[in-house]
Amino acid sequence: MISQNSIAQVFETARVEEVIGDFVQLKKSGSNFKGLSPFSEERSPSFMVSPVKQIWKDFSSGKGGNAVTFLMEHEHFTYPEAIKYLAKKYNIEIEETEQTDAEKAQADTRESLYLVSEYANTYFQKVLHNTNQGKAIGLSYFKERGFTEDTIKKFQLGYSLDEWQAFTDDALGKGYNINFLEQTGLTIVKGEKRFDRFKGRVMFPIHSMSGRILGFGGRILVNDKKAAKYLNSPESEIYHKSKVLYGLFHAKQSIAKEDNCYLVEGYTDVIQFHQTGITNVVSSSGTALSADQVRLINRLTNNITVLFDGDAAGIRASIRGIDLILEQGVNVKVCTFPDGEDPDSFSKSNTLEELTAYLEANAKDFIQFKASLLVKEANNDPIKKAETIRDIVNSIAKIPDQIKREIYIQECARIMDISENVLFSTLAQINKKEHQEANKTYKQDQKAFQVVKNEPQPKQKVDVQFELERKIIEILMLYGDRTEQFEDLILKEDEASKELVLEPTKHEARVFEKIYLDLQEDEMQFSNTQFKALYYAIIDKLNQDENFSTKNFINQLDQESASTVTSILMEDERYNLHDWERNQIVPKEKTDAVPQLVSQTILSLRCHLIDQKVAEYKNETLNKNADLRAIMEDVKDYVSLKRLLSRKLGKVLG
């Protein structure tokens, strides 16, 4: 168990914008930051982070919270894991108390898979550095590749002994469950026999974006035609190869800083680039590039530079990945290396200055790259040239942004020496064909459903009391500790006309005291149980703590309550996502009229509760035994009170 003192220190130190900035590219938007949702597929930002309130809100999925809840949602951390991650990030020493057997038993399957993977990573590193076989074979191989000791430790490279079950026996001896060893793929189980999957291989651990071990890649060092040169962990509950990029954990900050990501093919390409000094580089780990992998990069930057080996056949086979990147709305450039060179060998034989200069000089726009590659293949054959042009237009058709498509069409027309009109016509045909195919698929899907007449749907009623109670929680959280000048309207008889008039009286009070006393005066109760609990918790906190902090209060709530409060506080940040101020639409700040907001909300709630009471009395008139005269007198009194409150409300709004 982590001590409360350590938890408090973590919450006090962690900055939500810094934590989330490691996973999502955030851009300044007024006093907040915005970015693409890491929980859904989108091209327009709906994710908002508030440094002032130290909370975040994802309007596309409805999720929200503080730095800890983000890690729990995004990285599937448990609460203690999120605390430990933040402690490590901010160099805070964690104090822990001994876990009970019951607490240890609560670790779920997913967490057990992580623990097994973490143990394997430590084991392979120890074997590499501390055994004769590891040093003679594994460490020698890495040194031959030119990797320094610091680089080997940075990427946590290791070695698996060339023995059938050395790792498995060690793990079982330490108490790890064979089921979890099998599920992670570290151990292959066949009946009573158990084998180490990565026997005799150098090991490359694959990290999540936050640094957790998801799986491994292993390279064999002997010539064995029956064995694969590279072997990856199989799919598991924690490892999905199409959703992981090798090196992203080490590269994420520099990708966001440089606003560009270099995409290579292999593990050693990534490692050698880092050692040379270029750190914004990731690898698809030898698998075909997937849309999920592109979206991972897109959270950090909208620019990808694909680096290809000098091998022409390899380039032709890999070029399909460019279309996939374009489909995601990401800008893409391509850079190839000289024949016989790959990113690993080229970066090893060049200095940082030489490598940087080469990348800048040779990174081409995808149109220029594809055109130059395909034109060589066409070899002045008009039919092949026509096919080449159509191939390029097909790629342009993948781009979702219409302006970009038009610019690329103009560029293609210039390079290929062909009329823009012809290319636009071809683009229109491609789009029309795709639309028809999509429409055909849609119609086929519809045949599976019986055609029924659409019944008009009843309009959903707004729960007025829910919204007003929600508003009270918001006011208390934002302005509860402020002292304001309030104007109350007192009913008095005018001496001259003898009529009842509303006379204003001013007094000073703290906002939470004003709300509490007004609600007490009419004995108004919250109908929503969660809001009711939050209301009393906030009032209690404001009474006890003169330095009330929204951040500290949220951090002390359970996850459900914290999520509710975050949603309430971030609701008004929606307009920042749409840059209203840039369009000369400036919403009025609530801080400009807090007393008015308080009075308006309380009066509106009073009026609503009176309406409810009148409705109850009307239902009572249906009872034959009811005292109709008494009921009508009560209704008359409530209607008069409602008329008076409405006059007050009108004065407040005016």
Mean pLDDT of 280-307: 89
Please report, for residues 62, 68, 88, 526, 536, the alpha-carbon distance to residue 529 in angstroms, rounded to integers and kept in the order given: 21, 25, 38, 7, 11
Q: 51, 569 in Cβ contact below 8 A?
A: no
Q: Residue 581 pLDDT > 60, yes or no?
A: no
Lowest-confidence range among 363-367, 496-500, 623-627? 623-627
Q: How confident is the model over 62-100, as pLDDT tens digits?
A: 888 889 889 988 887 878 888 989 999 999 988 876 655
**Hey, what long-range contacts does 136-143 have (CB within 8 A, 24 or more apart)?**
137/162, 137/221, 138/202, 138/221, 141/202, 141/221, 142/202
Record the tokens describing residue 112, joined without a space.
């057990």
Amino acid at 111: E
Mean pLDDT, the chain, rounded, equals 82
Lowest-confidence range among 105-114, 266-275, 551-560? 105-114
Mean pLDDT of 439-449: 51
Beta-carbon contacts of 400 under 8 Å, excluding residues fewer than 6 positions away, are 43, 327, 329
Record the tokens describing residue 209, joined without a space.
């974006």
Superfamily for 4-102?
A: Zinc finger, CHC2-typedomain (3.90.580.10)
Lowest-confidence range among 238-247, 369-378, 463-472? 369-378
Q: Residue 286 pLDDT > 70, yes or no?
A: no
CATH of domain 109-239: 3.90.980.10
Dist. CA 505–CA 507, nearest whole Å: 7
Q: How confident is the model at residue 556 (pLDDT cuts 50, 70, 90)?
A: confident
Amino acid at 449: F
Q: Residue 457 pLDDT > 70, yes or no?
A: no
Please report, for residues 63, 94, 587, the alpha-carbon distance to residue 583 in angstroms, rounded to integers and kept in the order given: 28, 48, 11
Domain boundary assignment for the chain: 4-102, 109-239, 248-435, 464-653
pLDDT of residue 498: 62
Which residue would you say has higher pLDDT here, 448 or 136? 136
Q: How confident is the model at residue 527 (pLDDT cuts 50, 70, 90)?
A: confident
HSE-CB for 370 with a 13 A CA cutoff? 26
Question: What is the chain's Cα-based Rg?
Answer: 33
Q: Residue written as tokens 């208390």?
A: 476
Helices and strands in the chain: count of H runs, count of E runs: 30, 18
pLDDT of residue 227: 79
Query: Which of 168-177, 436-445, 510-519, 569-578: highest mean pLDDT?
Result: 168-177
Closest by alpha carbon to 211, among 401, 447, 487, 23? 23
Lowest-confidence range among 191-200, 212-221, 370-379? 370-379
CATH topology for 248-435? Dna Topoisomerase Vi A Subunit; Chain: A, domain 2 (3.40.1360)
Mean pLDDT of 460-485: 85
pLDDT of residue 562: 83
Q: How confident is the model at residue 519 (pLDDT cuts 50, 70, 90)?
A: confident
Q: How confident is the model over 86-145, as pLDDT tens digits?
A: 999 999 988 876 655 555 545 578 889 999 999 999 999 999 999 999 999 999 999 999
Whats the size of the chain, residue-wise? 654
Q: How confident is the model at residue 590 (pLDDT cuts 50, 70, 90)?
A: low
Record the tokens describing residue 220, joined without a space.
């064999």
Dist. CA 75–CA 210, nearest whole Å: 7
Q: 156, 125 in Cβ contact below 8 A?
A: yes
